[in-house]
Amino acid sequence: MPLIELNNVTYAYDGNKNGNFFLGEINFSVEKGEVVSVFGPNGSGKSTFLKIISGILKPRSGTVLFDNKNLNLYSHKELAKKIAFVPTLTSSVYPFSVYEVVMSGRTPYLNFTGFEKKEDHEIVVEALKTVEIYHLRNKGINEVSGGEAQRAYIARALAQKTEMILLDEPTAHLDLKHQVAVMKLLKKLNEQQGKTIILVSHDLNLAGNFGERAILMKNGKIVKDGNAQEVLTQTNIKSVFEVEAFVTHKSFKNETQLNIQITCF
Ligand code: ADP
Ligand code: MG
C-alpha cells in the first residue's frame, strides 16, 4: 500500500494573471521508504506539486491519500506529525532565533498549555547538532547566511519527527560541503529510519544519484517517472530543459553513478 497516493489531481491558482498554469492531471504514488527526486524547469509546477502532497494546497479535483486516508480527514496537528515540508528559502519577516525556528517543529506535539518539555528541548538540540548549526542557535534567523537558514529549516523538519519529508530545493543555498552533508543526512534518515523523502532539485548529478527514482515535470505535468538512470537521459533532459547534456554512467564504489554534463558550447 502506498504511503502517499495522488489520483487524477489537478490544480490552478486563483488570480493567476497569466491564467495558463494548470497542474495535472497527476497520478502518482510513493511507497513507504522510497526516495524520489523531482526535476523540471522553473514554473513547471514542482513547488505546487509538493504543496499539494503536503496538504498546504487543496486539489481542484482528484484525491490525495496518505496511508490510504484522504488528506482532508487529517487535522493540521495530525498531518504535521506525518509530513514535514521544507520550503524554498525565503527571508523570514519575523525575528525568530534559529533555536525558535527549530522548536516550531515541535508545535504539533505540545499539549494544551503550549509549554515545551525537556524532551522537546533535547530533540531540538539534537536536530541543531545534526545539521551543524548548534553554535548559531541564539542568532536571529535573519542574521545567519542563506545556507545556515536553510539548515535551520531542515533541522525543524527533523524535530517534527515525521514519516515523510518533502524538500523544495534544499541544497540551493548551500556550499559544497553542506550540499553533500544534507544529501548524506537524508540518505541516512531514509536508510536507518525508513523515512520517505521527496526532494525537488536543479542539481541533476547530486539528486540524480541520490534516489533510485526520479520524475521530470514540464508544464504542470509529470512527463517521466521511473528509475533515475532511465529517466535522466540525454534525450529526456533535452526535451524537458532544452539544453544539451552528455550523460555517462560510471562505476563508483560498486554503484553505477550518473554523470551529467551540461554544455554551453
Ligand atoms: P516551480 O516550483 O516548478 O518553479 P511553481 O509550482 O512554483 O513552479 O509554479 C508553477 C506556476 O504557477 C508558475 O507559472 C507560477 O508563476 C504560478 N504560481 C505559483 N504560485 C502562485 C500563486 N500563489 N499565485 C498564482 N500563480 C502562482
Ligand atoms: Mg519551485
Q: What is the pLDDT of residues 184-213, one digit of tens each?
A: 999 999 999 999 999 999 999 999 999 899
Cell triple for 252: 563508483
179 and 57 assigned to the same domain: yes
Range of the domain at 119: 93-160
Q: Locate cell 529549516: which residue?
A: 153
78 and 181 assigned to the same domain: yes
Within 10 angstroms of residue 91's Cβ, the number of other Cβ atoms is 8
Measure the CA–CA gap between 252 and 260, rounded to whole angstroms. 15
How far from the centroid of its chain's Cα atoms is residue 27's Cα? 18
Is the CB of residue 201 below 6 angstroms from any atom belonging to ligand 1?
A: no
Average pLDDT, rounded, for the chain: 93
pLDDT at 16 (0 to 100): 59
Tell which residue, 10, 1, 6, has the closest CA to residue 53. 6
Please report whether residue 257 resides in a domain: no
In this structure, the residue with its CA closest to atom 25 of ligand 1 is 16
Please report whether residue 237 resides in a domain: no
Rounded to the nearest whole angstrom, what is the distance from the C-alpha of residue 141 to the centroid of ligand 1?
25
228 and 99 assigned to the same domain: no
In this structure, the residue with its CA closest to atom 13 of ligand 1 is 43
Measure the CA–CA gap between 47 and 217, rounded to whole angstroms. 11
12 and 72 assigned to the same domain: yes
19 and 148 assigned to the same domain: no
pLDDT digits (tens, 9 = 90+) for 81-134: 999 999 998 877 788 999 999 999 999 998 878 788 999 999 999 999 999 999
Task: Using CB atoms within 10 Å of the CB of residue 167, give its burial: 0 to 12 exposed, 13 to 18 middle, 19+ buried.
Answer: buried
Measure the CA–CA gap between 196 and 23, rounded to whole angstroms. 23
Is the CB of residue 87 below 6 angstroms from any atom belonging to ligand 1?
A: no
146 and 196 assigned to the same domain: no
Cell triple for 181: 552533508
Is the CB of residue 51 below 6 angstroms from any atom belonging to ligand 1?
A: no
Please report whether residue 251 resides in a domain: no
pLDDT at 17 (0 to 100): 58
Rounded to the nearest whole angstrom, what is the distance from the C-alpha of residue 150 to the centroid of ligand 2?
15
Cell triple for 51: 504543496
How large is the average pLDDT for residues 166-172? 94
